[in-house]
Structure 1
Amino acid sequence: MDNNSAAFDLSGKSVFVTGGTGFVGSHFVERLIESGCTDVRCLVRTSKRFLEGLPITVVKGDLFSDEALQEGSRGVNYVAHIAALTRATSWEVFESANVSGTVNLLEAIRTSAPTVENVLITSSLAVVGRGTSGVADESSELDPVSMYGRSKQEMESVIVPFHDDLPMCTVRPPAVYGPRESDIFTFFKTLNTGFCPILGSGKEPALSLVHVDDLVSGMMASMVSKAGIGKTYFLGSPRNYSWHEIRDASATALGRRVLTIPIPLFLVSYIGAASEFYGKLTDTYPPLNKEKAAEIRYACTMCDSSKAISELGYNPDIDLWPGMETTISWYRQNGWL
């Protein structure tokens, strides 16, 4: 399957999307529209954000608004569940948003869309955690090290009984970058000051980092393909990157010469704790917190997409260098840098 919108003809189809106002979700909604879908329904809590001006139907509510979930899913062909909480200070908050919210959605679909063709469930590489010391694939054990990863593992567990009634496909993206991304963006802001923190030696492949356009192509293929029903897939980058490659591609796109600052892995936990403490003083919750530090230090950060490539025709072809060019260009054009 080609990695472009022409490969997905969704004319006459209806899709209900959760998380459409966010980074990945907004790109997914745009791809639906490019693919001919004229009935795109998006669950929106307050602001449309990146969806402003797009030809969509806004369904006001959240994953705990039963009427909104039933309204949005009523009679649809597909559902794409992209909404997720990635940062929180307690397990209860993670569990509510990522586990209980997913159950509420599936119960609504079961009632309001009994003939749905497929439900796309978005999980994460974070479910693997310590499950492997190398590159994760679908056979890797799950041993998450963060509350976020644990909540996604719990989510994958609680949806199992729904497979009897609903066709579903689960995808696990690794780290994602691209226009509109706001967490990895903090790394680019640091580079733009002329400094680059590097974990460990920085020389070995250490990270799967997928461009949002590639990820959305894989999500679309997972949603429309009957081959993926009942299965789970990693949707990663064309290859795994070293921190030195990420530094060089980012610095080149920024047009900056940067000073590399090596950071021993054992210091990451202290930096995360310090960032979180500062966040409490400023009433914010930083992207690099104790939970994220645990993932960086202990969790698997690379995945193998061979199964999705073989079974779904997934074709991640945006390499790091051109991907960084388009990403940095967007940040500058939109006043982020």
Structure 2
Amino acid sequence: MILVTGGTGLVGSHLLYRLVSDGQQKVRAIYRRKKTLKRVAHVFSYFSDDAETLFNTIDWVEADLNDIPKLQRAFKGITHVYHCAAFVSFEPDKYHQLRKINIEGTANIVNLCISNAVDKLCYVSSIAAIGHHEDSSKLITEKTTWNPEDDNSVYAITKYGAELEVWRGTQEGLNAIIVNPGIILGAGYWNGGSSGNLFRKIHSGMVYYVKGVVGYVDVFDVVDTMAALMKSSIKNERFILVSENLSFKDFQIKVANELSVNPPKKEAKAWLLSIAWRLDWLRHKITGSRRSFSKHTAKSAVSITKYDNTKIKDALGFLFKPIDQSINEICELYKKDLKRL
């Protein structure tokens, strides 16, 4: 039996659809809040006329990554685990919460995999947990060294810490793989911290663009490579999952064109972003409201980081979906959802 943590998230929901559509093994998934199950059912409805039947084949279990007794029950009869659950935030004051979920939660999953003699674990990390080069023209690979002395974001620090827990598990006999996706593009999650929020904001109208470069990947490319790696004999390896390296500006323009709205026309330069994150910090201190734009967000907006996807293509012979195609497909689903937003 397969266990999926974070089953109600962007990656988890699309992974569950792929797994139950395949129908070869029974699937169990963990959720924290019952209301979030509706999002998964909605994602299923994009791709199947029999979405309800597929959704009902999943054995849903309410559990938290730090609730050991509930997790122990969820692990009963499990042979393979996809650990997709994570907390995504770049707010510095969320560091302890990030550690609790991303590092301690992953340690719990790893420990239960070992104690239950699970055959294989797949952990969904992030390109944020991979090191960077000083030379921005140099491609980042799986071997690029993480530098703990860098000005890393709190999210990156905890994802890297979570990876250490997975590698610790491999030293204790666990077979595991780690995937490091870029910005994951997928439909159904138009609010919050997922990439769907970018589509909604671009549709609403964005004045400014930024010239930073980062890697993008379609959500189905992520889940398909995960499933293929789990079925393969490959173990104790990590893989960058990026289809294309693209500037934020180009991404914004492509989405705007697909949604028939005006693209942003003004460049938000580094000095303007520097003022913006300081004003956001001041607003947070005065009002107590959540941070919406941090120092690290501003830094990444102008950083040029390019990733090499050669390793996964060589390992599986995998062909990534072009980002133009991903944007087109997601925009079509977004337009269908507009009446629900």
Number of the residue aligned with 1:33: 20
- Alignment map for 1:1-337 (pairs within 5 Å): 14-47=1-34, 48-52=37-41, 53=52, 54=55, 55-87=57-89, 88=91, 89-112=93-116, 114=117, 116-131=118-133, 133=136, 134-143=138-147, 145-163=152-170, 164-181=172-189, 182=191, 183=193, 184-200=195-211, 206-227=213-234, 229-237=235-243, 239-275=244-280, 278=283, 281=287, 283-286=289-292, 288-298=293-303, 301-317=305-321, 319-335=322-338
Assess, with a 3 A threshold, how the Cα gap between structure 1 residues 267 and 70 changes in structure 2: closer, same or farther. same
Name the CA distance, whole Å, in 1 between partners of 2:283 and 2:20. 41
Partners of 1:174 and 1:301 within 8 A in 2: no
Number of the residue aligned with 1:8: none
Assess, with a 3 A threshold, how the Cα gap between structure 1 residues 195 and 108 changes in structure 2: closer, same or farther. closer
Give, as a single letter, the amino acid of the residue that structure 1 aligns with 2:64. D
Note the C-alpha offset of 1:276.
5.3
Query: CA offsets per residue over residues 139-169 of structure 1, 9 Å max, x none?
Result: 1111362011011111112322211321000
Q: What is the percent sequence identity of the aligned residues?
A: 24
Assess, with a 3 A threshold, how the Cα gap between structure 1 residues 38 and 188 changes in structure 2: closer, same or farther. same
How many matched pairs? 313
Query: CA offsets per residue over residues 201-248 of structure 1, 9 Å max, x none?
Result: x7xxx2211111111112212222212x010110111x2223343133
Assess, with a 3 A threshold, how the Cα gap between structure 1 residues 199 and 29 changes in structure 2: closer, same or farther. same
Assess, with a 3 A threshold, how the Cα gap between structure 1 residues 20 and 127 changes in structure 2: closer, same or farther. same
TM-score by length of 2: 0.83
Which ranges in structure 2 are unaligned for 5 or more consecutive residues?
42-51
Note the C-alpha offset of 1:69.
1.7
**RMSD of equivalent CA atoms:** 2.4
More helix, by proportion: 2
Name the CA distance, whole Å, in 2 between partners of 1:272 and 1:31. 39
Note the C-alpha offset of 1:259.
4.2
Which ranges in structure 1 are unaligned for 5 or more consecutive residues?
1-13
Assess, with a 3 A threshold, how the Cα gap between structure 1 residues 273 and 217 changes in structure 2: closer, same or farther. farther
Name the CA distance, whole Å, in 1 between partners of 2:278 and 2:232. 43
TM-score by length of 1: 0.84
Give, as a single letter, the amino acid of the residue that structure 2 aligns with 1:232. R
Assess, with a 3 A threshold, how the Cα gap between structure 1 residues 196 and 221 changes in structure 2: closer, same or farther. farther
Query: CA offsets per residue over residues 47-84 of structure 1, 9 Å max, x none?
Result: 22423441211111111111222222223221000101
Assess, with a 3 A threshold, how the Cα gap between structure 1 residues 282 and 329 changes in structure 2: closer, same or farther. farther
Give, as a single letter, the amino acid of the residue that structure 2 aligns with 1:243. F
